[in-house]
Amino acid sequence: MATNASSAANLWPAHAAQDKDISVLPRIFEDAINVAIMQRRLPADIQLSAAAQCQSERPWQFSWLGPADVTLIDELYRRAPQPEAATALIDDVLLISQAVAYLFDTQNVGIRLRVLNEAMCPRFHCDNLAVRLVTTYLGPGSQWLPDTAVNRDGLGAPRPGQPDIVRDPSAIQTLQAGDVALIKGSGWEGSENSALVHRSPTLTQGEKRLLLTIDPA
């Protein structure tokens, strides 16, 4: 689930939807919602499959643009660092990819599955696209800010006199491994000035993260 460091008395942001059922994901189409989170606990077989792919000493990345079908499965097996242990992970990637394709009525999806050993986007930012799905299989999840904790004047490339983006550090939310989140970017019509502000988590020395992102294409 998504967590925060502030007291339990803090209210859940009105612009964020979360539930343990997949039916929460279509709420991303609501004008007032800029993040929809399906909370889930990863089954043990997926956890083990994901951990096996992270045994490589060097970062690894898989990229795909095309249909979520048997060709995707074949390519994932061909490219996986540990293909003999990849079945549970690949099945899950396929299921999520097909859900994205169905939800956004598209034949093709853009997929990136990456083993990271450092933060990919450590600065809070908005994506310059319409929507992106993110889920972390291993390691800490993505962090995001409630709208009330954001100073949007601080967004963008660093510049002299730039204000801090974060108004309240205690309000930072963190997705848990397994959570599936749809995040609106500034390319979503009507969200040019209200896209979700988020970042990659900081990794400790020797820590690894297995991240999946999917864009409707």
CATH of 15-156+165-216, one of 3.60.15.10, 2.60.120.10, 3.30.9.10, 3.40.50.2300: 2.60.120.10
**pTM (2 d.p.):** 0.92
Encoding tokens for residue 102?
């169905």
% residues pLDDT > 70 (the chain): 94
Are 181 and 168 contacting, i.e. CB atoms less than 8 angstroms apart?
no
Domain boundaries, the chain: 15-156+165-216
Judged against a pLDDT cut of 80, whether residue 75 lies above it is answered with yes
Q: pLDDT by residue (tens digit) across 8-57?
A: 335 899 999 999 999 999 999 999 999 999 999 999 999 999 999 999 77
Which uninterrupted H or E stretch holds 109?
A: strand 108-116
Q: What is the CB neighbour count within 10 angstroms for residue 215?
A: 20
Which uninterrupted H or E stretch holds 209?
A: strand 209-216
Q: Is the CA virtual torsion 39, 45, 47, 52 positive or negative?
A: negative
Q: pLDDT by residue (tens digit) across 108-161?
A: 999 999 999 876 678 899 999 999 999 999 999 999 999 999 999 999 888 888
